[in-house]
Amino acid sequence: MARHSISAVIAFLCFSIVGFARNQQDQLYSVRVSVSTAEQRTEIANAGIAIDKVFSDSIGFIGTKEDIKRVEGLGFSIKASELPRRALDFPSDDKNFHNYSETVASLDEIAKNHPKIAQRFSIGKSLEGREITGIRLSGNPSRDSLPTAIFMGCHHAREHLSVEVPLKLAEYLANNYETDSRVKSLLDTREVVIVPMINPDGAEYDISSGSYKYWRKNRRKNDDGTYGVDLNRNYGKGFGGAGASSSPSSDTYHGPEAFSEPETQAVRDWVRGRKKATVLLSFHTFSELILWPFGHTYDQVPSKTDQDVFETMGKKMATWNKYTPQKSSELYLASGDTTDWAYDELKIFAFTFELTPDSMFGGGFYPGAEAIEPTFKANIEPALYLIEKAENPYSVLNESVDPLRLIP
């Protein structure tokens, strides 16, 4: 491929991020590569790199020496700095983040305190046998055909903030049901299902040594002895295509086949069972983006009407959280993610939010517990909007229709 002459490479400062090697012995680097087009970024994604941040003239990722060599081998120049080791215990320094058992306990607590509207459920077990658990919220729990909004977090282990936001959303909806007429009318006419930790094995592994490991994937032991499948490359649409790696050691390893992993199988079967699911939001971190399908191709979704719905909803939600709204492929191609599958197979209007911070300078994957509350607050309105629009997402194309009037 073309060789790229790099003029401006910005030294990457990683003062607020921490790390141990992902396979214990490997030093990790924070890497900046000067690239400016989606095609160049896809070329890097195709080399098995998990791009964390896209700037107008560069991208950032976290990787090993081998990752750096692969990118240099493509002709790109890089600037890398070692990630320092700094003990950042979880849950001591970051004790307000929820580990797996605390997440389950929080969901149990919500269900216990609000038995009429909240029930905890499991969608299946992770590879290491943890229940992948969620909560169903509805003022009409006996009706099983209500329009359904689905929220998920933590496909990627190190993205701990993506657990906190859906967890807080569950608390917010449950706590405000009796007192907030908007929340009450939404829950009385809809079902909200929230699964905050899709990848519990990875999330637990990331915090298992008292230092964050920058772990992304699940904990599959691959045939070559490396660990992990990227769950957000393991879904069925476009599986194995651009921006997904066939190399098991890669952070974007797609796995041996679509839905090879118990975690994605569980999501697939559970989402298929939500017969009236119309909207879905998969929380990730970071970069402050609102993304919609397709991500595995530069092509638009086949329906121009659906494309308009995605764009209208995405841009509307951005007015509240101030994130950048865009079609996923404008960033770089990535195949086999949740949203492309959910839209393609089930025509669910499925979004990815890349939460706070905006960049590595705000702490990257580990922004600190002080990020939890403001990030949640910024995303309340977008979440309520999605729940409102679950009744009829196409109503967004006619702004004169007040969505609350559509509630039967």
Least distance to ligand 0X9, CB of residue 36, Å: 17
Q: Are the beta carbons of 395 and 184 closer than 8 angstroms?
A: no
**Which among 99, 104, 102 has a CA at the least distance from the CA of 125?**
104
- How far is the C-alpha of 177 from the C-alpha of 171, rounded, in Å? 10
Give the binding range for ligand 0X9 (CB under 6 A) out of 110-118, 176-184, 255-263, 331-339: 331-339
| 165 versus 291: smaller Cβ distance to ligand 0X9 | 291
Q: Which amino acid is at 78?
A: I
**Which among 22, 77, 63 has a CA at the least distance from the CA of 245?**
63
| Secondary structure letter of residue 21 according to DSSP | B
| 159 versus 201: smaller Cβ distance to ligand 0X9 | 159
| 219 versus 284: smaller Cβ distance to Zn ion | 284
Q: Are the beta carbons of 218 and 267 closer than 8 angstroms?
A: no
Subset of 151-190 contacting ligand 0X9 (CB under 6 A): 156, 159
Residue from 232, 250, 264, 321 binding ligand 0X9 (CB under 6 A): 232
Query: ω into residue 294 within 30 of 0, thus cis?
Result: yes
Give contact residues for Zn ion (rule: CB under 5 A).
156, 159, 284
Least distance to ligand 0X9, CB of residue 362, Å: 14
| 361 versus 394: smaller Cβ distance to ligand 0X9 | 361
Q: Which of 354, 370, 373, 399 is catalytic?
A: 354
| 88 versus 163: smaller Cβ distance to Zn ion | 163
Residue from 173, 334, 342, 372 binding ligand 0X9 (CB under 6 A): 334
Strand order in the sheet with 131-137: 118-125, 131-137, 191-195, 148-153, 277-285, 349-355, 289-292, 324-327
- How far is the C-alpha of 296 from the C-alpha of 299, rounded, in Å? 9
| 159 versus 263: smaller Cβ distance to ligand 0X9 | 159
| The two structure tokens encoding residue 348 | 């669910």
Residue from 139, 166, 295, 357 binding ligand 0X9 (CB under 6 A): 295
* Active-site annotation holds for 354: yes
Q: What are the distances in angstroms from CA 408 to CA 33, 166, 177, 386?
A: 52, 27, 18, 17
Least distance to ligand 0X9, CB of residue 394, Å: 23
For residue 319, report the phi and psi dihedrals to the nearest 5 degrees.
Answer: -65, -25
- How far is the C-alpha of 261 from the C-alpha of 248, rounded, in Å? 14
- How far is the C-alpha of 155 from the C-alpha of 230, rounded, in Å? 8
Least distance to Zn ion, CB of residue 5, Å: 31
Least distance to ligand 0X9, CB of residue 195, Å: 17
Question: In sequence order, which residues have a C-beta less than 8 Å from that of residue 258 and are 6 or more positions away?
Answer: 234, 235, 236, 239, 240, 336
Give the binding range for ligand 0X9 (CB under 6 A) out of 20-28, 326-334, 376-384, 394-402: 326-334
| 138 versus 328: smaller Cβ distance to ligand 0X9 | 328
98 binds, among ligand 0X9, Zn ion, none (CB under 5 to 8 A by kind): none
Least distance to ligand 0X9, CB of residue 94, Å: 19
Residue from 33, 49, 50, 107 binding ligand 0X9 (CB under 6 A): 50
Q: For tokens 């060599």, what's the residue?
A: 69
Residue from 291, 313, 350, 355 binding ligand 0X9 (CB under 6 A): 291
Subset of 51-110 contacting ligand 0X9 (CB under 6 A): 52
| The two structure tokens encoding residue 102 | 């605390």
Residue from 331, 348, 378, 383 binding ligand 0X9 (CB under 6 A): 331
Give the binding range for ligand 0X9 (CB under 6 A) out of 70-78, 111-119, 180-188, 290-298: 290-298
Residue from 58, 352, 375, 379 binding ligand 0X9 (CB under 6 A): 352
- Give the H/E segment covering residue 32: strand 29-33
Binding status of residue 284 toward ligand 0X9 by CB under 6 A: yes
Question: In sequence order, which residues have a C-beta less than 8 Å from that of residue 121 and are 6 or more positions away?
Answer: 133, 134, 135, 136
Transcribe 70-109 into DSSP letters: HHHHTT--EEEEEPPP----TTTTTTTS--HHHHHHHHHH
314 binds, among Zn ion, ligand 0X9, none (CB under 5 to 8 A by kind): none
- List residues near ligand 0X9 by CB under 6 A: 50, 52, 156, 159, 232, 284, 291, 295-296, 328, 331, 334, 337, 352, 354
Catalytic residues: 354
